[in-house]
Each structure stands twice: as structure tokens, then as C-alpha cells.
Chain A
Amino acid sequence: MNTNYIGEHLLPGQLGHFFAVLAFVSSIVATISYFMSVQSKDANLQQSWKNLARGGFIIQAISVFAVFSCLYYALYNHFFEYKYVWRNSSRDLPVSYLLSSFWADQEGSFLLWSIWNSVLGLVLLRTGKKYEAPVMTVLSLAQVCLASMLLGIYILGYRVGSNPFLLLRLAEENQGLPWVSRADYLNFIKDGNGLNLSLQNYWMVIHPPVVFLSFASTIMPFAYAFAGIWTRDYKEWIKPALPWSLFSAMMLGTGIMMGAAWAYESLTFGGYWSWDPVENSSLVPWLTLVAGIHTLLAFKYTGHALKATFFFFLITFILILYSTFLTRSGILGDTSVHSFTDLGMSGQLLIYMAVFAIPGFWLLIARRKEIPSIVKEESTYSREFWLFIGALILLIAAIQITFTTSIPVWNKLINLLGIKSLFNLQRDIAPPSDGMFHFNKIQIWIAIVLGLMTAVLQYMKYKDTPRGFFSRKIAVPTVLSLVITGLIGIFGNINYDTYGAGFLSAIYVMLFASVYAVVANAAYIFIGQKGKLRAAGASVAHVGFGLVLLGILITSAKKEVISIDRMRMLDNGFFGKDSKENPRENLMLPKNFPVQMGDYHVTYAGDSLAHGDAKTYYLVRYERRDPKTGDIAEKFTLHPDAFLSNRGEQGLTPNPDSRHYLTKDIFTYITAVPIKDESSDTAQYTKHEVAPGDSVFFANGFMVLESLLPKPENPNYQPQSGDLAVGAQLKVFTKNNEQYNLLPVYSLRDSSYEVIVPDTVAPLALFVRFSKILPKDKKIELQVKESDTFKDYIVMKALVFPYINVLWGGVLVMIIGFIMSIVQRVKANKAKSN
């Protein structure tokens, strides 16, 4: 069967696929050549292998960019013959969201990862020097794995990768469908499936590039550590590895917190962090990477903790791959709200993980005895000892989070290994029903220990701390922190009692720990470093970390839902046993009817549409009155919005809006709106026979028939040539002295059948039909209906997040600290090599 399909654009796809295969092949060439360059003894041979490898890598980098361009070209031109384009975009999608479409799916996001790897590789070609060959071997191997994800070629009956340029008509699920065999099928595919509404967001444009740069960058500490073991250069590798690992930790931290900010700003998860598996699995590698940076410093200054550094750097990248596996294999389907669905590449993802985990850890174990270590013990009064302990605490945090996040994996393993039948287990393990508290109750203690260590550790010296020195220097910050904690405790009104007094006391301890971390590190810039800001990167980053801890603590403990529906609570017993579990957090606001909510009177003032924007915007007016004088103390309007339908189907996809203050945010989003169509309406029309000048009464007022118009203009009525149309000009007066005009139309088309066009006053839920002309009585028949369900209202949820800016500010300070450290370390490396 050879159908000549009409209107397809096959060139970009063929080019794209060609370059995808070329990238795969040339990255294999680069990997092998770099490997040979490392393994060969002869300097000339090394150089010639290296030259070959460089060529291979540059070709693969160019190919990856070419694949990117081809796919973007297809997206930009709406070539819906490609499945990827059809699946992820549509014609009405604004151009600014085309990039979101690009990485909305697995193939595009792998491509993004691959691009960043290429960029990092090109940087290494220039800066790698003697580490170029071993490090690039690892990086090229990663490129082989990533390129294989985009192949879409069958090898021995297995499909390897998924080709983003697959034609829609060739897709598996469309085989055998009648339209596939039609040459003109593209005439029927007018538009794509479109981008998921919750991804049509500016965060989706900027968050993925940052996250994938951070994922890509975690290979650098891995590759340097691997290079160190592989070439038996156990000590020197840490110098170039340190700035890279700082960069990687900074990017990963930024990526995670951008995700948190996205969740907070424009999704309706009710916060910035919910211990969702997808969030957890990217936090865990950050923890191990940070642990690795600290053990690396301990090694750099004292020679201790080298093995631990190797372990942490190796495991970080493996955990990134594990997180990729979790989010992309579809295994999290039951436990996460935002993971990809299975693309049938789980096996390939596992192989990717094994390709790096097995050689890495095998070499580490095989050569463990060669790795230099110091026989003499660390002193308990040394910085390196506590750095090591801190790293282990981070590891415990990582293990606990991974253990719970991996529940779906445990289920798979239990089923696979037959343990289930062995122990006669009936059911699958489910994650804890109170997931937030499950993590919080453990991690709060870890955060406390980390906060305290962050505070005091800079005051300890490597090798040994003189006893008096430590207590003398730390005294002022300690007292200051105690005072500040006391003040916050007294005036901050922290009384989070949902989980009892034990947890509340933990909150107070953590309050001290995080304040201590901020104060002690800020003070260290002056006490320890005598105000030399250039060397204070670590202190600044630690101040940021302390602020993050503090911000998390305050926002979590003091977050408050203010949209509590108290009316209904009274019905069912406000103090009933269910009142805590069923907090009734949604509030119904009828239009133009102020409702008390927290300190505010809130009024829903109507909705509006903007041209070229598929969203509906709701006007929610907040008003706070001074309790004594009754004057309006504050007034503002929020515009939470929502997509009301997706491709013609009803469904609410809301986006929140917030009022930002320096000390708190008021966060509002829509949770339900009425469906505005007549079919859901049960009210009946009542008939009225009226002559011009007569009135008709209804519940909220009355209407007067002013006149009958021969050529009526009603937006819902389109006159046709054979029409004999009459409109009933009505004036509506409501009890609130509002006036509306109505013009229902009655028309006799071609003298044979009636066309009746009703008119409505939407805010009153009033429908009027002009149903009959009664020539004998010189009257007309009007049918009037007041709907009881069709009322304009919104249901919304509003939360107050106090001091959320402490968290965001902390993140910024931390990033600044990282940048300062990177600059300092790069400079130090350059100074040494000169």
C-alpha cells in the first residue's frame, strides 16, 4: 500500500531523525576515543585519540542543536503530521508557550538535557586540560544514553528510545484507523491536541531549562570523582571539581526552589512544597551533593573524608538518574500528582542508571585500599569531624526521604521477587495517609541538627580548635539568637497545635536552630573574616540556608486558611469531632454580596474575559475596616483566573492571585464556578400575555413591555431573507434600582416555522422568551423564567502565608553565597596554576 499523502512536510522530520542518529553514533565515537586516550600510555597516541574524540563530540553537539532546531521548526509551523507537535501544541497557543510545548513531553525534555550536556562538554573542551579525556569519557557516555532515548529504532524486537519526529499516522495507537489510509488525512487534522492548561504558564518556559541544566551539571562532580579513581589521581581532581560541584548544587537548589515558587505562584497545591515524590526525588540528590561538598572541604584542608567525598559525588548523579526513572517510568502514577506517563522506556532508564552506577561503585570498592586516608583520628574539637557528621545527617535525611518516596518501587520489587506470595501479603503498600506529617516529624529534627551545626561549625577550626577560642567567639551570636528566638516566641504567637505539644516544642527548637544559623553566620563575616566579604561566600550561603529553614518553619506553622465556611460549621456543630478533619476550607461568594472572611469583607464583583486570552478573570474585592471607627482601612482587588473549558469540555483549571505584603501573602484561587448553560437548569417558564405598556413581575423586580420592534437586533439572532421578525422591547427594573434592557425575538421563517430567540439578564438569572403573537387581543405571549441554579457565584479558597518572603529571600541569599564561593574557588585555582 503506497499512499501518496497530501500536504505533509517530511523534510524536517527526516533531517531531525538523521541528526538524532548522528548524535548517537558520534557520541559513541567520542566515548570510545576518549576512553582509549585515557588508557593509552604513549603521549602521541593519547593526543591522536583525543583529537578524534573532540571531533566526535563536536559533531554530536552540532547534531543535538540541529535536532532541537528541526523540532522547534515543526512546532513553530504547526506541522500536525508529527505526533509530538500534534500532542503538545495547537494553533491558538501563544508563541511564547511554544518552548513549553517543546519540553512538555519526555522526548523534548531529554533533548533539553542533552543540549545542556553538550554545552557543558564544550566548556570542558576549553577548560578541562588534563582532566578533559577522563571527564569527557563519562560525559560522552551520558550523551550516548540520552541520544538513545531519541532514536525510536527497533533493535532485536525492542524499541530503543522514542523518536520525536514520529508521524501521527504511523503512531502505534492509530494503526488500522480508517483515516490513516486516506491520502488527504491532513485536511481533517485542523488542530493539535494542545498543551495541558496547567503548563500554559510562564514558569513552564523558564523552570525546565534551569532544572535540566542542574540535572546535567550533576554529572560534573560525578565525572571528576570517577576520573580521580580511574586515573589514580586521588587528590588533585578536587580542585576543578569544587567549583563545578558548587555550581551544580546552586543550580539544583535554584531549580527545586523555582519549582516550589511555580507551585506557590500559579498552581493550586496550597503551598510551595507538599513532599510529592517528584519534588522529593530531586531534593535527595541536592542533599547528597551538599554533603559531598562539605566532605570535600574537610579533605582539602585535613586529608580526612576522601572516601566519603567519592561516595557522595557518585551517588548524587545516580540519584538524579533514579529520580529520572521515577518521574518518567509512570511508576509514580498512584502517588504523585505530577509525573509523566509511561513511554515504554523504563528498561532503558534502568540501564542508563546501571551504566553509571556499576562502573563507578565497582571502581570505588575495588580501589578502596589505594585511596589515601589518614590513620590519625580527627579530634572531636575539629571542624572536619563535625563536617563529616553533618554529611552523615544529610545522608540520613536522604535515606528517609528516598525510602518513603520509593514505595511504588518496593511494591514492584515485592511482586517481582515473589515475596508477596511467600509471606502471604494481600495488598500493596500505600504511602502514609498523612504524608506531610510523616516527613515533617522526621525532617524537623534533621533540620534542627543541621541548623545548629551550620551555626557553630564555622567557628571551629580545622584539625583542632583552641578551647577558649570557640566559646569566646560563639558567645555573642548565641546570646543574640536566644534573645531573638525568645522575642519571636513571645510576639510571634506560634501555637501550631495540630500535632500536639511535642511537635510544637520541636517547632520552638527549630526556631532557635534556624535563627542561630542566620545570626551566627552573619556574625562570622565580621568576627571570623573581619568583614572581608570576598571570602565570605560560605557564610553568606549559610545565612541563606538559615533563612530558608526559618521561612519554611514560619510559613508552615503559621499558614492559615481564611476562607473557612463558618455558617455550615455551626450547622454541624462547630466543636464537633469532625471539625478539625473537615475544615470546610471553601467559601461560596454570591455575586455582589460581601462575605466576612478573616479580617476582610470579600465581594465577588463579576468575571471578565480578555481578547486573545482563553482564561476567565474573576474580580474579588477585599476590604478591611478599622474595627473601631468602621472606616475602610485597606482595599484591594485580586484577579484569580481559570480556564473554564479545554477543547470544548467543561473543566476548571484555576490559577491563583496573591496580594503581596512584605510580611505576608494573601493567596486566593477559584475552586468551583457554576456551569453557565441552560441544560442544567430545572426551573420552568411561566407564561404571561401582555400588551405594550403592561408589566410582568418576577422575584427580583418587574419588567415593562415598551414596544414591539419590526427589525430587532439581538446578537443571538441572525436575520434571513424570508424572515418576518418582531422583537419585544423590554425594560427590566430590579429591587436594587438596577435597569436592564431585553429584546427577545419572535420570527416566522419562510411563513412556515417559528424561530424563537430568548434573551437573558445574566446577573439576575432571568430568561425571557417571546413565544407567540396573539393578533386578536393585540397582545403577545412572553415566557419568563428565573433560574434557581443559574446564579452567578464563585467558590474560592484563600490562604495567608506569613513571612513567605523570608523563604524566597533566603533562597536568593543562598544563591549569592554560592556564586561568591564559585568565583573565589575559580580564582584560587587560576592563581595556583599560574
Chain B
Amino acid sequence: MIPVVHFALILRNGKEGHFPLLQKIIRKQNYYNMKKSNIVLLVLIAVAIGVIVTVAGDFSTYETFATARQKEGKQFQVIGKLDTTKAMHYDPVKDANLFRFYVIDKTGETRPVVFYGTKPTDFEKAESVVLTGKMENGEFQCSKILMKCPSKYKNDQVAIGTKA
């Protein structure tokens, strides 16, 4: 950061001719009583924008199984819901880190999903799931599951007994 500030100061105070256009702009700024802290401010805003643009590259989009199938082996986030017509399988005695189930994505495509971990609590009740992982041999290998429950903190149905 310090070299950047230094550079800005050279631009402002340095001899004519090194960076004519930039110097012209900065001298013009100087006319409005530009202070060092203002220059620093500008530089840091530039840094902030740079940082944001770079890390925005990490952002992804919610995809479907079809996209994941086309680019096998690449990480995707897929939104879908549990296919309740097919059986879930988790047997810790055989393997405590293997959980298999089926998910229907937004387009209606059903795929087997493998999760290398335990079965999350209340998995059956999830309204929808966000799977992070990749497609391999027609199977979605998922490293993270985020569940959206109908009501995150409560279940709002009043259960009424038949007998007093």
C-alpha cells in the first residue's frame, strides 16, 4: 500500500513529462485542494473495488443437474428437493461417511446423490436442499448440504389430540 501512496505523490509532485495525462488530471484535482488523505482515499477505493471484483469471481450461480452433467468434475451448487419416492440409504455400521439419496432439481431431473458424511438431522423435513458438489458418472458427489426447512426455528402446525 505504501508504494501506491508514494506513486500517487510522485504523480502529483513529480516533474512534468513523466506521466503527462495522469499528472494533468491530478494537478487539476489539486486545484480543488486535494490532500494526501484524499489521494489515499481514492487509492483505497480503487483497491476496494479491485478486491471486490476479484473475489466476485468466487460467486457462482444456482445450477441444475443438466449443467453439472455437461461439465463433469466441476463444482456447482444445485437447488432441488429430496425425492421421497426413492429410498435414502445411510448405514453407519458399514460406512459412517456415506449417505446416498435422490434429489429432483428445478427442471424435474432426478439424480442419485452421494454425500460423504452422516445423514443430517431432519433431512426428510427439508423443504429444499442446496447441494454443493460435482457430477461424476451420472452421480452427484456432494461435499456440502444446506437445508431449507419450512420454518427454520419452528413447526407451526397446531397438533390437536382427539381425546381430552
Contacts and interface: CB of A to CB of B under 8 A. Distances in A.
A672 B51 contact: no
Contact of B33 (A375, A432, A789): A375
B132 A433 contact: yes
A590 B90 CA distance: 16
Interface string A158-189: 00000000001000011001010000000111
B118 A586 contact: yes
Interface in B85-114: 90-93, 95-97
Given A388-B37, A389-B40, A438-B55, A430 B77 contact: yes
A582 B115 CA distance: 9
Contacts of A340: 152-153
Contacts of B93: 588, 789, 791, 793
A334 interface: yes
B40 A392 contact: yes
Contacts, number: 162
Q: Which of A393, A399, A400, A432 has the most CB of B within 10 A?
A: A432
A568 B97 contact: yes
A404 to B, nearest CB: 7
A565 B61 contact: no
B143 interface: yes
Interface string A568-592: 1000000000100111111110000
Contacts of B137: none
Contact of A334 (B59, B130, B143, B164): B130
B23 to A, nearest CB: 19
A733 B48 CA distance: 73
A187 B163 CA distance: 9
A188 B36 CA distance: 73
Interface in B49-85: 51-52, 55-56, 58-63, 75-77, 79
A449 interface: yes
Contacts of A174: 158
B41 interface: yes
Interface in A404-458: 404, 407, 426-434, 438, 441-442, 449
B146 interface: yes
B60 A671 contact: no
B103 to A, nearest CB: 15
Contact of B47 (A187, A335, A396, A651): A396
Nearest to A653: B121
Interface in B108-133: 116-119, 121-122, 130, 132
Contacts of A665: none
Contacts of A789: 91, 93
B161 interface: yes
Given A334-B146, A378-B37, A588-B92, A672 B52 contact: no
Nearest to B56: A403
Nearest to A407: B59
Q: Which of B33, B62, B121 has the most CB of A within 10 A?
A: B121
A104 interface: yes
A432 B143 CA distance: 14
Given A430-B60, A430-B62, A396 B40 contact: no
A788 to B, nearest CB: 8
Contacts of A380: 36
Contacts of B164: 187-188
B1 interface: yes
A795 interface: yes
Given A377-B36, A565-B97, A672-B119, A429 B61 contact: yes
A174 B160 CA distance: 12
Contacts of A652: 121
Contact of B1 (A339, A449, A671): A449
B152 A339 contact: yes
Contacts of A568: 95, 97
Given A377-B37, A568-B97, A791-B93, A399 B59 contact: no
Contacts of B152: 333, 338-341
A262 to B, nearest CB: 15
Contact of B36 (A335, A385, A399, A793): A385
A663 B40 CA distance: 42
Contact of B61 (A337, A427, A647, A793): A427
Contacts of B40: 388-389, 392
A87 B146 CA distance: 25
A651 B118 contact: no
Interface size class of B (residues with CB under 8 A): 35 or more
A472 to B, nearest CB: 21
A789 B93 CA distance: 8
Contacts of B33: 375
Interface string A60-99: 0000000000000000000000000011100000000000
Contacts of B151: 341
A482 B121 CA distance: 47
Contacts of B75: 433
A671 B51 contact: no
Interface string A761-798: 00000000000000000000000000001010101000
Nearest to A180: B158
Interface in A312-341: 333-335, 337-341
A672 B59 contact: no
A328 to B, nearest CB: 12
A429 B59 contact: yes
A651 B62 contact: no
A648 B148 CA distance: 22
Contacts of B61: 426-430
A582 B116 contact: yes
Contacts of B132: 433
A375 B63 CA distance: 55
A433 B44 contact: no
A582 B92 contact: no
Contact of B96 (A338, A429, A672): A672
A431 B153 contact: no
A774 B160 CA distance: 47
Given A196-B154, A449-B1, A565-B97, A400 B160 contact: no
A430 B51 contact: no
B115 to A, nearest CB: 9
Contacts of B90: 672
B35 interface: yes
Interface string A510-526: 00000000000000000
B96 A588 contact: yes
A389 B47 CA distance: 13
A400 B48 contact: yes
Interface string A92-113: 0000000000001100000000
Contacts of A565: 95-97
Contact of A433 (B36, B37, B77, B153): B77
A438 B58 contact: yes
Q: Which of B41, B48, B151, B164 has the most CB of A within 10 A?
A: B48
Interface in A384-403: 385, 388-389, 392-393, 395-396, 399-400, 403
B137 to A, nearest CB: 13
Given A187-B164, A389-B44, A674-B92, 19 more contacts: A87-B154, A199-B153, A305-B37, A341-B154, A377-B35, A388-B40, A400-B48, A427-B61, A427-B63, A430-B61, A432-B55, A433-B75, A581-B116, A582-B116, A584-B116, A586-B92, A588-B93, A672-B90, A789-B93
| 9 residue pairs, one from A and one from B, having the closest CB atoms | A432-B58, A582-B116, A588-B96, A671-B118, A427-B61, A584-B97, A586-B96, A795-B96, A672-B118
Interface of A: 86-88, 104-105, 168, 173-174, 177, 179, 187-190, 193, 196, 199, 304-305, 333-335, 337-341, 375, 377-378, 380, 385, 388-389, 392-393, 395-396, 399-400, 403-404, 407, 426-434, 438, 441-442, 449, 565, 568, 578, 581-588, 647, 651-653, 671-672, 674, 789, 791, 793, 795
Interface of B: 1, 33, 35-37, 40-41, 44, 47-48, 51-52, 55-56, 58-63, 75-77, 79, 90-93, 95-97, 116-119, 121-122, 130, 132, 141, 143-144, 146, 148, 151-156, 158-161, 164
